[in-house]
Structure 1
Amino acid sequence: DSVTLICSSDSNPPALNFIWFKEGESSSVGSGQSFSALQSGRFYCEAHNQHGSQRSDAVTVTVHHGAGRNVIVITAASGVFIIIIIIIIIAWFI
């Protein structure tokens, strides 16, 4: 699962670019006006124009990873295993 964060600015002149950061990390994690956070953490953006930059307040994001995909993978793998066993049993008796 993920959450999309959007950064906006009412600066004059308008912001030319946006850079996303995660607190505690030394490099940026994304760029552009929107950013999809795939992990939990505290994120903020910086809006830049020719006069400088301004940092937003950090927001806390908590991403919960559901078990739905894992269950589907396990079920599919179990189904394939059962089919292989059936084929082996049929081949054994033929």
Structure 2
Amino acid sequence: MTKKDLIVVVAKKANLTNKASADAVSAILNGIRDSLKRGEKVVITGFGTFSIRNRSERPGRNPKTGEKITLSARRAPGFTPGKTLKKAVR
């Protein structure tokens, strides 16, 4: 499902115009992104938790040259599905 598909589904289920639905979806996604940028967790009960995961420095390899390199430590977004979502997918 793409963002465009999600906008159409939200518009139909919530009886909104596509424009209003697009604004709502964008606001939600921007809110999640902004919270993660601040290092906060986003918990959506029954769906899951978005959080920042710290990746430690690790050895790597340049795929083009084969040269060994060190990949620096970084922060990466992560998602842990909730029980309800896990049950629905099974």
Normalised-by-shorter TM-score class: under 0.3
Q: Which has the higher strand share?
A: 1
TM-score normalised according to structure 2 size: 0.27
Greater relative contact order (CA < 8 Å, ≥ 6 in sequence): 1
TM-score normalised according to structure 1 size: 0.27
- The structure having more radius of gyration, on CA atoms, is 1
